[in-house]
Structure 1
Amino acid sequence: MASNISITYIGTATAIIYLDHLTILTDPYFSPPGTSWTGASGTTLTSTYQPALELKDLPPIDLVLLSHEDHKDNLDDLGRTLLNGRRVITTVDGAQKLGKREGIVGLGPWESTTVQGRDGLQWKIIATPCAHFPGGECIGFVITAKRFGHSPERLFKAIYYSGDTVYLPELGRKIAKRFDILVALINMGQATVTKSDGGTLQVTMDAEQALQLVREIKPQVVVPMHFEGWSHFKEGRKGIEQAFGLSNIAPTRLHFLIPGLKTDIVM
């Protein structure tokens, strides 16, 4: 592989992915601790953490991967200011709701688009399906390029960012058939909200669901995200470490990132 991959984890679902001549930001959230908002279910969600970087600390961003625009823990008011004048890839519905901003592309599951890096070479972005919240659209992303090369089985080497989703059998089946995943950034935390009938709804993966997906797509490295800092997250780092520690996923490596620190993942 002729490309380096480095990641800076900022918090929740926000991370900077550094590739050769392409810098990507996922689901931008930068609000201070204590920020609350009430979702469509009526559940009030409260942040308890300070994002590791502020807007002024960010490097130049070439591309924003926005899994969905309608939940403020994935796109807050500060994050919205980053969308202006940048290439943004999101859902079809999200692209429409964000209005007439140049550079916004909406994709449905398994649709793709290309992005040109600063060196002129092309990167391919493929949208992956998510099951997050009834009635809303959400996608994850596979990032690949010719420079990544192929596995011995002729699968395209790629990076996967899950977006907000619970486990879907379709994900493991189709990703494993097409891609050799170098790094999987997986939103976990077992985020749970209260439904209108008083019941609860899990809207992101817990560790066991993430493990099932990892067994199927066999990434070299798993980077957990979206597991701390909010009142509706029910499973933290300890639960993830316990679940993965009890499972034989070798040679996959579980890698918790230090927030705010740029970390080389694959070289």
Structure 2
Amino acid sequence: MKKRWFLVPLALLAVPVFAFQAGLFPELGARPAAEDRLRFLASEAYNPEAGIFENRRADLVAQMQENMETIPMLRKWFAKRPDARPVSELPQRQPDLQQFLSASSETKIIWFGHSTFLLNIAGTIVLVDPVFGDTASPVSFMVKRFQPPVLELEELPPIDIILISHDHYDHLDKPSIDFFVDKATQFITPLGVGVHLKRWGISEHRITERDWWQSHESHGVEFTAAPAQHFSGRDGANNNETLWASWVVAGPATRLFFSGDSGYDTHFSQIGERLGPFDLAFMENGQYDQAWPYVHMLPPETIQAFKDVNASRLMPVHWGMFELAFHTWYEPAAAVSRLAEQEGIELVTPMLGELITLDNSLRTTHWWETVAHANPE
């Protein structure tokens, strides 16, 4: 929903649709072909009459989009907002890749901001929703990142698997995918998302697509797609032609949950019952607003979803790198940390680039407070 507004200036000029149809704008990706849509017929989330994927409550996103398409909302997007972006670089640490790659039975994590993070699960290296480009949009002047990534793509260790949650620009970044065209890295995505990857040069044999509740094992790690309540699309005109998903990542001694982008619904308790418990849940917590609660959770809903999936630790993601909503850059972390303390929930909040190991010695801080206090509202 809010991501649809990223394309407003382009939509007014009718550029995205023309460029997409003409094949002139590869950042927009591709649309599923007829043979792809035949594959989708087996999915309970697919509506063959409409040719789109749908949430459990199929009308929610359409209703919200109608409510959002107003002049006051458009003005709000372009209004200046205090502390929407940090006035100085956020604190970060240079990742210790030697330690990250060292043999261990414990899962290791490096967060790059927003929903991009790197996992070492018993020696298998997994990169989730990689966005290393300058912007989370199809054009260079919109949705710029707060600061450069703590590692350039060339500095990453060899990646075994890239896991994608859905095809929005802040989760599927063409400049990042381009880097892996000539690598051996495997890609795991929800149904249909592979069409973008193939358009950008990734060989079909390197792409595995999964429907909700379907699994795929690779390099000794099992990946299970699970439901999420969201939407998809990259050109502003052809939404929901590819699926969106949350993911369960299960290694020999670790079970992780990644919510992807999602509003709150009954699927979280279903996931907890069918696939939990989890050692850690990467839960969406950021870029929310009362105007689009069905596709992004407010902090109290993030806490409830965490309880529903039955996880031991909560790591909030989807914040800390892009301005995609009306709240301050630090509000998501401050709000969820207050709620977690009230509920006795163990919160994991590493700095950008900080290496953490999922063991009993894990400790993190409220690092954003120093920066936020230096920039009073």
TM-score scaled by length of structure 2: 0.58
1:23-78 Cα offsets, whole Å, 9 max, x none, are: 1000010123xx36369xxxx64433332221122111100011113x22112232
Q: Deviations over 1:126-180 (max 9, x none)?
A: 00111122643211211114x32xxxxxxxx611111111122122223234322
Whole-angstrom CA distance in 1 between matches of 2:147 and 2:225: 29
1:52 equivalent to 2:145? Answer no
Aligned residue pair count: 236
Task: Tell me, in whole angstroms, the C-alpha distance in 2 between the residues paired with 1:59 and 1:164.
Answer: 26
Identity score, percent: 22
* Aligned partners of 1:128 and 1:171 also within 8 Å: no
User: Which runs of structure 2 are paired with 1:1-267 in the superposition (5 Å)?
Assistant: 3-32=105-134, 35=135, 37=137, 45-69=143-167, 71-84=168-181, 85-99=184-198, 100-116=203-219, 122-133=220-231, 135-136=239-240, 137-145=243-251, 147-148=252-253, 158-191=255-288, 200-202=291-293, 203-233=295-325, 234=327, 235-249=331-345, 253-266=346-359
Larger helix proportion of the pair: 2
1:151 corresponds in structure 2 to: none
Is the Cα contact below 8 Å between 1:29 and 1:74 reproduced in 2?
yes
The structure-2 alpha-carbon separation of the partners of 1:36 and 1:184, relative to structure 1 and needing over 3 Å to count, comes to closer
Q: Judging changes above 3 Å, is the alpha-carbon distance between structure 1 residues 82 and 127 closer, same or farther for their aligned structure 2 residues?
A: farther
Runs of 4+, deviation exceeding 4 Å:
none
Distance 1:215 1:240 in 2: 13
Q: Give the greater-gyration-radius structure (CA).
A: 2
Distance, in Å, in 2 between the alignment partners of 1:23 and 1:37 is 27
Distance 1:129 1:7, change over 3 A: same
Q: CA deviation at 1:236?
A: 2.4
Q: Secondary structure of 2:340's partner?
A: helix
* Structure 1: runs of 5+ lacking an equivalent: 117-121, 149-156, 193-198
TM-score relative to the length of structure 1: 0.80
Residue-by-residue CA offset, 1:83-141 (whole Å, 9 max, x unaligned): 4331110011101332243311111111111102xxxxx22110011112264321121
Answer yes or no: is the 8 Å Cα contact 1:164–1:187 preserved in 2.
Answer: yes
For 2:193, what is the secondary structure of its paired residue? helix
Is 2:228–2:267's contact at 8 Å kept on the other side of the alignment? no
Report the AA paired with residue 165 of structure 2.
Answer: S
Change in CA separation of 1:125 and 1:238 when aligned onto 2, cut-off 3 Å: same
Q: Quick check: 2:272–2:310 contact (8 Å CA) kept in 1? A: no
94-103 vs 163-172, which deviates more?
94-103
Which one has the bigger strand percentage?
A: 1
Amino acid at match of 1:115: S
CA change 1:214–1:200 in 2 (3 A) is closer
